[in-house]
Amino acid sequence: MHILHLEDNPADHELVLRTLDRSDLACVVTLVDRLEDFQDCVRQGGVDAVLADYHLAGFSGMDAWEWLRATKQEMPFIIVSGAIGEATVADAMVRGVSDYVDKNRLARLPAVLQRALDFHASRLAQAVAQAELAESRRRLVDLTEHLQASIDRERADIAREIHDDIGGSLAAAKLDLSWLARHISDPKAQGHIRAALEMTEHALGASQRIMRNLRPAVLDQGLMPALQWLTHTFAERTGLRVRLKGQLRAEVAPAVAMVVYRTAQEALTNVLKHAHATEVTLELSDLEAVLTLEITDNGCGAAAQELAKQQSFGLLGLQERARSVGGWLDVVTAPGQGMTLILSLPLHGDPPKDWENNE
């Protein structure tokens, strides 16, 4: 371990050397008495800690500390000085030095130095862990975006196949059944044909609904029309009262619109599965360059632990979707008090566009 000792009194330096020699610390101590020499040694690297007198010829130990901090180099920095007063010590500690040792109590120095080294090592380990966590988080976000993009592409491919193959085949079958209905007069056969036509019509409607869920082509008409269609069809299918309110005055990027639409879609599905609600309200706004979607139901709500069990993966997916476009998702709920999802997505200077208020 290499220690710089910033001291202009050789006798005091000898006392520090003897004190450290009697300890279990294995170290090499370099004496410097000028600020320029101190700076040169630090620039050369390999310094593990600094012991500095407070009063030196033409400068102070705090000058060395301020320079060290300005260069963003982190290492234990201990003031080893004569009595300098409690206020001065307190000021030095507030400014970030590791500790203070009175020259008249040098026996404390090894323990103080070891504690400062341990704390510094802990901070470095924490910084490394935080950097690794940030990198892991970044890679997770990248993976999530990649998976989501893959899912969206797969959905579009499936929707296209349903439209081209299944939809086309059902439409052809409907035409053939209609032809049979016109050319067969047998009442019993007519009954079967009508039943087959009804089933074919139902299958066509189901395939169209599945296609719209897989790839909401209605988004091409704008976010608000897409949400109007989504809430209308959800209310018709479930019997729940669904209200869409708000005003949208900004052009919304396709990626952002998709996040809003999918969040609304997933939230409505969760309401149907878990909330036991009778009413859902969606409110959209774009005040202060932030697009906000609030989805509130009057259902049973959930405690924190219940929320984690029931909807953790769904909410996690929505949170990752929001983060993929720089946004965030908040959840407000309590048992018996319903649930509110708040999606917030930043807008980036889009030109204004007026929409009618929808309710």
* Chain segment 70-100, per-residue pLDDT in tens: 998 889 999 999 878 899 999 999 999 999 9
Is pTM, for the whole model, over 0.85?
A: no
Given pLDDT bands bounded at 50, 70 and 90, which one contains residue 329?
very high
Closest by CA to 353, choosing from 227, 239, 222, is 222
8 Å CB contact between 339 and 329: no
pLDDT at 358 > cutoff 50: no
CB under 8 Å to 6, separation ≥6 — which residues? 32, 33, 38, 50, 51, 52, 53, 56, 61, 64
Q: What is the mean pLDDT of residues 193-218?
A: 84
Rg of the chain in Å (alpha carbons): 35
Whether 2-126 shares its CATH topology with 219-346 is answered no
pLDDT at 298 > cutoff 90: yes
φ/ψ of 342, rounded to 5, equals -120, 110
* Chain segment 41-58, per-residue pLDDT in tens: 999 999 999 999 999 988
Q: What percent of the chain has pLDDT over 70?
A: 94
The CA distance from 355 to 247, in Å, is 6
Q: First vs last Cα of the chain: how many Å apart?
A: 71
Does CATH number 3.40.50.2300 belong to domain 2-126? Answer: yes
The CA distance from 168 to 204, in Å, is 9
pLDDT given at position 68: 93
Does CATH number 3.20.20.150 belong to domain 219-346? Answer: no
For the chain, domain boundaries: 2-126, 148-214, 219-346
Strand partners, 332: 340
The CA distance from 358 to 104, in Å, is 79
Query: How do strand 339-346 and strand 290-297 relate by DSSP bridges?
Result: antiparallel
SS3 (DSSP) at 317: helix
pLDDT given at position 307: 65
Q: What percent of the chain has pLDDT over 90?
A: 52
Question: Among 103-117, 137-151, 228-242, 319-333, whose mean pLDDT is lowest?
Answer: 137-151
Given pLDDT bands bounded at 50, 70 and 90, which one contains residue 195?
very high
